[in-house]
């Protein structure tokens, strides 16, 4: 396939964004990082604009920009709406965010909540499922970096994959969550602005009517809103996304970082804004279908469509959008996962008296280790990013009910929570391989809900007290 | 892979939507239930 831009142009664009990100990381490390609270929770004083922007940037992943068009291309219009429904869990997380702020004002990780609320067995299972998710997610982002540069400039897959991972690792190492949030602010503006310019340019050139006619002539079933795969996708996507958001330390860390007065508002705003992104990106897939573009790999729909439509300018726009989306997500996963591993495993099991300096040092070591591990796992290119991500669906969907129920119901049975997660995940996994990857989150969430609600009704927990959650203490400032 | 057919897919969709709505209703209901109150331990 003929590259759309030269390797030099691609490297100049990637280099410019990388230099901006690295400069931010170094600047923030030098000027603004005074203690581990700054590194891990951005000082716990983040306002509405920064909080909203960082939530948007973290949730607009390489999957949103690349997998939404992939889904639109393979499943049709219903998939675009299905993908957009993943914005709703951000909005629904707002009441949970408020409650978390009240219950655990000094909380450090999502693991803290699980450990105190449900005990060590559930906590151990949670850490395993969580690692399953963040590694899967990190792998898809790394893959997206490789595929992006390969599709646009014809560079080897490994070059793009290694570049994105290297740059994100370095700037996350330097500035921690503060650098991630500051860059997220710029990256989210960049993503939203560039994406809308791209969509307007594409539809101005072809016209919505022509695109519709083209799709109806060539592949009319793509406009069918009740295809079987599309329906399953639409029915499961909310539960999958809710699982991702409710359990992941990525979002809990942002709750702890935000001021109490803005935590809920920022989740609502970011959810509303986010929902437009997969619809706009996914809509471009119909331009590809109507023009009968050759798409050698479904992952490449977005870069190929925009580059064919808009020439080299389109390629540069795509490169900026996806690189920005990938950078914000990779750095966000790295900070939240390293924080979870150090606080929940190292601090709880090995050294409870860890100092502030050690906390930052170990976080940095884990960030590097996670990056290296993700690179090793994605060294070989895989066919579909989204199918890989869907493999985490059974794990995350099994945690939706234990977390929501555990946050509001004092008598949630901890043994039932354990079996809800384990059985939900197992049944979901069997469904993934036996029936459909789209049905897996539904089965996982249903089984988990039934086990948890029945277990709690039969034997309500009488030991737990809300005030137990207040035992978590944030690292002391000033170290 | 087992082919669950079109009605199987519709069933999965319906269950998925119901489960999603249950999560939304549960969270929103409890938000209003606890709005403005501290988390007080029940006996």
Q: How do residues A198-244 score in pLDDT, each as one tens digit?
A: 888 887 888 888 888 999 999 888 888 888 888 888 899 999 999 99
Token pair of A346 as six digits: 């190292």
Alpha-carbon span A407 to A113, nearest angstrom: 9
Give CA–CA dist A152/A21, Å, rounded: 22
B16: contact with A, CB 8 A cutoff: yes
Nearest CA in chain A to B16: A235
High-pLDDT (> 70) share of chain A, %: 98
**CB–CB of A288/A299 below 8 Å?**
no
Closest in A99, A234, A446 to B34, CB measured: A99
Return all residues near A200 (Cβ < 8 A) that are at least 6 apart. Answer: none
Tell whether A148 is within 8 A of chain B (Cβ).
no
Nearest-5° angle of CA A137, CA A141, CA A142?
115
φ and ψ at A106, to 5 degrees? -110, 20
- With CB atoms and an 8 Å threshold, state whether B19 touches A449: yes
ipTM tops 0.95: no
For chain A, which domains are there? 7-381 (1.20.1730.10), 391-464 (no CATH)
pLDDT at A67: 79
Phi, psi of A435 (to 5 degrees): -110, -70
CA distances (Å), A382 to each of A24, A194, A306, A434, in order? 32, 28, 23, 21
What pLDDT does A135 receive? 93
- The answer to whether A46 touches A55, Cβ cutoff 8 Å, is no
Mutation target among A86, A221, A226, A442 for the B interface, most CBs of B within 10 A = A442
Determine contact: A22 vs chain B, CB below 8 A: no
Contact (Cβ atoms closer than 8 angstroms) between residue A62 and residue A136: no
Nearest CA in chain B to A408: B30
B34 to A408: CB separation less than 8 angstroms, yes or no: yes
A105: number of Cβ within 10 Å: 14
The SS3 call for residue A226 is coil
Q: What is the pLDDT of residues A248-265, one digit of tens each?
A: 999 999 999 999 889 999
The answer, for A228 touching chain B at a CB cutoff of 8 Å, is: yes
Nearest to B26 among A99, A228, A404 (CB): A404
Instruction: List, in order, residues 6 or more apart from A21 with CB less than 8 Å away.
Output: A167, A168, A171, A183, A327
Q: Are A147 and A160 in contact (CB under 8 A)?
A: yes
Q: Using pLDDT thresholds of 50, 70 and 90, give the confidence band for residue B42.
A: low
Taking contacts as CB-CB distances below 8 angstroms, the residues of chain A near B25 are none
CB pairs under 8 A between A and B: 97
pTM as predicted: 0.90
pLDDT at A478: 46
* Radius of gyration for chain A, computed over Cα atoms and rounded to the nearest angstrom: 22
**Distance (Å) from the C-alpha of residue A147 to the closest C-alpha of chain B?**
29
HSE-CB at A24 with a 13 A cutoff on CA atoms is: 25
Under an 8 A CB cutoff, do B17 and A235 touch?
yes
- Number of H helices and E strands in chain B, helices first, is 1, 0
Given this model, what pLDDT does residue A188 score?
A: 85
Listed as ranges, residues in chain A with pLDDT below 50 are 478-479
Distances in whole angstroms, Cα of residue A320 to Cα of each of A16, A193, A331, A433:
10, 11, 16, 36
In this prediction, residue A473 carries a pLDDT of 63
pLDDT of residue A476: 55
CB contact under 8 A, B16 and A236: yes
Beta bridge partners, A46, equal: A258
A441–chain B Cβ distance below 8 A for any pair:
yes
B-chain CB neighbours of A404 within 8 Å are 23, 26-27
Residue of B nearest to A99 (CA): B31
Indicate the residue of A88, A232, A466 with minimum beta-carbon distance to B13. A232
Degrees to nearest 5, angle at CA A63 with A46 and B10: 115
| pLDDT at site A183 | 83
A77, A83, A88, A94 alpha-carbon torsion, rounded to 10°: -160
Angle, vertex CA A262, rays to CA A178 and CA A473, nearest 5: 60
Whether residue A445 and residue B4 make contact (CB cut-off 8 A), yes or no, is no
Structure token pair of residue A30: 């030098």
Chain A CB contacts of B27 below 8 Å: 92, 95-96, 404, 408
CB-CB neighbours of A466 under 10 Å:
16
Integer angstrom CA distances of residue A360 from A23, A44, A349, A356, A476: 20, 16, 17, 6, 13
Side-chain half-sphere of A201: how many Cα atoms within 13 Å?
18
Per the CB < 8 A criterion, the answer to whether B34 and A95 are in contact is no
Which uninterrupted H or E stretch holds A34?
none
Q: How far is CA A439 from the centre of its chain?
A: 20
pLDDT of residue A479: 38
Q: Do A410 and B41 touch (CB under 8 A)?
A: yes
- Which residues of chain B make contact with A95, given a CB cutoff of 8 A? 27-28, 30-31
* Tokens matching residue A3: 């590259």
């Amino acid at each position: 396939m003929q590259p759309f831009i030269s390797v030099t142009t691609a490297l100049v664009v990637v280099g410019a964004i990388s230099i901006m990100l690295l400069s931010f990381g170094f600047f923030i490390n030098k000027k603004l990082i005074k203690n581990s609270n700054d590194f891990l929770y951005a000082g716990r004083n983040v306002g509405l604009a920064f909080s909203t922007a960082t939530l948007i940037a973290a949730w607009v992943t390489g999957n949103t920009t690349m997998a939404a068009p992939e889904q639109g291309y393979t499943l049709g219009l219903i998939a675009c709406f299905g993908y957009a429904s993943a914005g709703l869990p951000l909005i629904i997380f707002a009441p949970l965010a408020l409650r978390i702020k009240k219950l655990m004002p000094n909380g450090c990780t999502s693991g803290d909540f699980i450990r105190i609320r449900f005990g060590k067995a559930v906590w151990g299972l949670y850490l395993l499922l969580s690692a399953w998710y963040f590694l899967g997610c990190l792998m898809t982002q790394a893959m997206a970096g490789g595929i992006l540069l390969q599709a646009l400039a014809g560079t080897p897959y490994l070059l793009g994959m290694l570049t994105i991972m290297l740059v994100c690792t370095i700037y996350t190492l330097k500035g921690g969550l503060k650098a991630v949030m500051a860059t997220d602010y710029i990256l989210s503006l960049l993503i939203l602005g560039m994406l809308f310019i791209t969509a307007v340019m594409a539809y101005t050139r072809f016209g919505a009517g022509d695109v519709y006619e083209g799709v109806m002539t060539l592949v009319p079933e793509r406009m069918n809103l009740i295809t079987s795969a599309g329906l399953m996708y639409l029915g499961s996507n909310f539960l999958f996304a809710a699982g991702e958001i409710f359990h992941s330390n990525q979002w809990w860390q942002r709750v702890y970082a935000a001021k109490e007065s803005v935590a809920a508002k920022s989740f609502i705003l970011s959810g509303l804004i986010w929902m437009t992104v997969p619809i706009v990106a996914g809509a471009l897939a119909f331009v590809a279908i109507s023009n009968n573009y050759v798409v050698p790999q479904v992952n490449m729909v977005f870069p190929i469509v925009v580059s064919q439509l808009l020439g080299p300018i389109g390629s540069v726009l795509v490169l900026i959008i996806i690189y920005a989306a990938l950078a914000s997500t990779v750095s966000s996963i790295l900070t939240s996962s390293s924080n979870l591993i150090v606080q929940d495993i190292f601090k709880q099991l090995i050294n409870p008296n860890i100092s502030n300096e050690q906390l930052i040092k170990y976080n940095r070591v884990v960030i590097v280790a996670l990056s290296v591990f993700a690179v090793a796992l994605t060294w070989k290119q895989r066919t579909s990013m989204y199918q890989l991500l869907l493999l985490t669906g059974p794990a995350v969907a099994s945690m939706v009910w234990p977390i929501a129920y555990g946050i509001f119901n004092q008598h949630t049975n901890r043994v039932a929570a354990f079996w809800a997660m384990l059985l939900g995940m197992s049944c979901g996994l069997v469904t993934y391989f036996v029936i459909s990857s789209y049905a897996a989150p539904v089965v996982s969430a249903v089984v988990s809900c039934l086990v948890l609600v029945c277990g709690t009704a039969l034997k309500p927990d009488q030991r737990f007290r809300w005030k137990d959650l207040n035992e978590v203490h944030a690292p002391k400032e000033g170290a | 892979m087992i082919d669950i057919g079109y009605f199987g897919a519709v069933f999965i969709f319906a269950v998925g939507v119901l489960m999603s709505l249950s999560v939304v209703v549960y969270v929103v209901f409890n938000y209003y239930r606890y709005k403005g109150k501290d988390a007080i331990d029940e006996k």
